[in-house]
Structure 1
Amino acid sequence: MSEFDVEFRAVTKLYGNVTAVSDIDLKLERGAFVALLGPSGCGKTTCLRMIGGFEQPTSGELLIGGAPMQGVPAYRRPVNMVFQQYALFPHFDVETNVAYGLRQIRPKLSDTEVMRRVGEVLEQVHLEKFRKRRIHEMSGGQQQRVALARAIVNKPRVLLLDEPLAALDKKLRTAMQMELQNLHRDLGITFLLVTHDQEEALSMSDRVCVMNAGKIVQFASPQEIYDNPADIFVADFVGKTNKLNATIDTADGRKGLARLDNGSVLPVVKHSGLAGGKSVLSVRPEAIALGAVGSNVVSGAIAGKVTHRIFLGSSVEYSIAVPGVGGILVTTDRNAGGPADLFEPGTAVELRIKPDAPHVFQS
């Protein structure tokens, strides 16, 4: 038995002259929770549809559980999908919706076995008291759980999730993220989530596959993706970042000086090696120290002025205008011992970027 539930081997998918997916290799380990993350049109949904059997690769090979899927129809694949709009039968009650897939199995299951499995899965998604409830009488979160129950009742090898939380409000979406994580742990099957929501991908999955223009840019843990982006696209797409144009003067392979467009000089360190010349610095907003002018909160500081302030409760976001550089976003944690007072728009401030904060990419 293969240790990988899904494998893409040099898979390309063309729609006429348009390349949706280009020569990708990807392996999903058994029982993993993987998020396909990227902007619209990057190829993530095409990958999901090829796994589900709704599309076939133009070239390359797709395997599920070590078995080639070329020509295997969707209904014969050991996968199930939860669609963004749920695709529930509105004229059926919860029990009948969940049982629908079981009723299609041949040889036919007994009514007793069908009801046993339906009851088991409704208990897993906390809907055992709603068996006879009509779909139109259910809330959005309840409908989402019905869709999940219908997808897992057949015990698929891989569960495909096509932006399943997009229709929910923020509070309910957060609650459903935790429920999906619990369900994944209970079932022990592979979950593959397609989303363009960075927070959703980072908070729910074990591994994140970032895609752009039909290619895989980086496949790593959420922490690795955020802390060590593979290129400027990943740094800019995953989370918030400041992109600063600079010229790098290298002292050795790890340390150097970055000269910004306004002449400011920043010491920089990059553990994977530091190439000289024109570069772009990627600096996370929370990695920048902020203080009032002359407060000695920061040293070796860059002068700027607050243009906007967004109060977020436990943190505050500032937009700082730096002459010759442009706008810099800074996030301060109100519980981390930083400035006690909020800086008003128009206030002159100083900011400092630690040497190990920037990620340096060739421009």
Structure 2
Amino acid sequence: MASASLNDIEFRAVTKTYGSVIAVTDINLEVPKGAFLALLGPSGCGKTTCLRMIGGFEQPSEGAVLIDGREMNGVPAYRRPVNMVFQHYALFPHFNVEQNIAYGLKQMRPRMASGDITRRVAEALEMVRLDGFSKRRVHEMSGGQQQRVALARALVNRPSVLLLDEPLAALDKKLRSAMQIELQTLQRDLGITFVLVTHDQEEALSMADVVCVMSAGRIRQLGKPQEIYDHPADLFVADFVGKTNRVSAVMEADGATLRLSDGSAIPALERQRVASGEAIVAIRPEAIRLTRTASPKDSVFSGTVTHRIFLGSSAEYAVTVPELGDFLVTADRRTLNENDLIEPGEKVFLAFDPATAHVFSASSAA
């Protein structure tokens, strides 16, 4: 009987321990059918442990993992409707492409007819745009081609869920960007659930439609990429997802005024209000306008450029502001209204709209 579950994956109060080490704690998570989920976080945050519990390579110490509404606790990996693409692909070097892809089909019971295996392998190769490569040896292929072979091998069994364990980490930047687009296209075409583990914020934001930010074995925020970036739940998320500038401040007793460490004040909107006392104001580098002349419209600080990184269409500047510290500013060259880049040593002004800032209690900085 088919499951009526709306979710392909569920974690219900899942905890995983290794002896005295707690890898993940009380994880509750629902992944809708056909979603592209990214588990994002620093090394040791528990994201790979979660992936391995979905795949059946680890079992929960407490709680339950469900796939398509069925509890998977105790079910071995080979009996789950799941396949995984590993970081280093784990292809068989003594097999050609066709043999690598067909391997899983040949292990199925009852046995598939050889004609059906050949047809399924051809379909998988076409899916990843490797038609004509069936007899090619793995060592004769580029990194991107090997990754496609690993994808084809994982998809040929038609899993309900595809797990991706940092599959792009070994690729160069240009190829990684191309493969990100290919994976998105493939996921949309197939309509199956993808779960990606990564520590690369740009990769998670650009590929997934749901991002789960993890730290110290817990979920810090779950949401759409834009929501995660524009409305971080706490200071950890603001720091980890993208870049941010921290400014020490005090929320005054009126709850509507933030007093910065240089003595200046900026208004706090309703959504920015935290308990009175020490606070942290977080400002994204692209939310700051860098100019050679002061603007009276917004909060303005003066400082000195100490470093510049030229990025082509934009540039990143490190600016030291007395009593406030160092700021990172990303400036689109077209918005500078200047024919030349600002040089280190120049005096500049930093302007930002206080409404673009995120405010957190200093006690939540851990």
2:346 counterpart of 1:343: no
User: How far, CA to CA, are the matches of 2:340 and 2:275 in structure 1?
Assistant: 40
2:94 counterpart of 1:91: yes
Task: Quickly say closer, same or farther: Cα 1:66–1:296, change in 2 above 3 A.
Answer: closer
2:233 counterpart of 1:234: no
Q: Aligned residue for 1:303?
A: 302
**Preserved CA contact (<8 Å) 1:289 1:298:** no
**Preserved CA contact (<8 Å) 1:21 1:46:** yes
Gaps in structure 1 of 5+ consecutive residues: none
**Preserved CA contact (<8 Å) 2:281 2:359:** yes
Matches within 5 A, 1:232-311: 232-249=235-252, 251=254, 256-271=256-271, 273-292=273-292, 294-296=293-295, 299-311=298-310
Following TM superposition, by how much is the alpha carbon of 1:250 offset from its aligned partner in structure 2, in angstroms? 5.7
User: How far, CA to CA, are the matches of 1:152 and 1:29 in structure 2?
Assistant: 19
**Preserved CA contact (<8 Å) 2:272 2:359:** no
- Deviation above 6 Å: which 4+ runs of structure 1? none
With structure 1 as the length reference, what TM-score do the two structures score? 0.96
For 2:276, give the aligned amino acid: G
Give the one of 98, 103, 122 matched to 1:100. 103
Gaps in structure 2 of 5+ consecutive residues: none
2:238 counterpart of 1:219: no
Between Structure 1 and Structure 2, how many residues are aligned? 359
Following TM superposition, by how much is the alpha carbon of 1:268 offset from its aligned partner in structure 2, in angstroms? 3.2
Following TM superposition, by how much is the alpha carbon of 1:125 offset from its aligned partner in structure 2, in angstroms? 0.3
For 2:285, give the aligned amino acid: P
Following TM superposition, by how much is the alpha carbon of 1:251 offset from its aligned partner in structure 2, in angstroms? 4.4
User: How far, CA to CA, are the matches of 1:322 and 1:346 in structure 2?
Assistant: 12
Q: Aligned residue for 2:15?
A: 12
Give the one of 39, 42, 45 matched to 1:39. 42
Following TM superposition, by how much is the alpha carbon of 1:117 offset from its aligned partner in structure 2, in angstroms? 0.5
Q: Aligned residue for 2:178?
A: 175
Give the secondary structure class of the aligned counterpart of 2:355: coil
Deviation string for 1:8-64 (max 9, x for gaps)? 000000001010000110000000000000000000000000011110000001100
With structure 2 as the length reference, what TM-score do the two structures score? 0.95
Following TM superposition, by how much is the alpha carbon of 1:297 offset from its aligned partner in structure 2, in angstroms? 7.6
Identity of aligned residues (%): 63
Q: Aligned residue for 2:311?
A: 312
Following TM superposition, by how much is the alpha carbon of 1:249 offset from its aligned partner in structure 2, in angstroms? 2.2
Deviation string for 1:230-274 (max 9, x for gaps)? 00000000000001110122645xxx3222212222233252644
Q: Aligned residue for 2:331?
A: 332
Following TM superposition, by how much is the alpha carbon of 1:340 offset from its aligned partner in structure 2, in angstroms? 4.3
**Preserved CA contact (<8 Å) 1:99 1:118:** yes
Following TM superposition, by how much is the alpha carbon of 1:277 offset from its aligned partner in structure 2, in angstroms? 1.6
Task: Quickly say closer, same or farther: Cα 1:103–1:318, change in 2 above 3 A.
Answer: same
User: How far, CA to CA, are the matches of 1:80 and 1:138 in structure 2?
Assistant: 23
Q: Aligned residue for 1:68?
A: 71
CA RMSD of aligned residues (A): 1.4
Deviation string for 1:106-162 (max 9, x for gaps)? 110001000000000100101111000000001000000000000000000000000
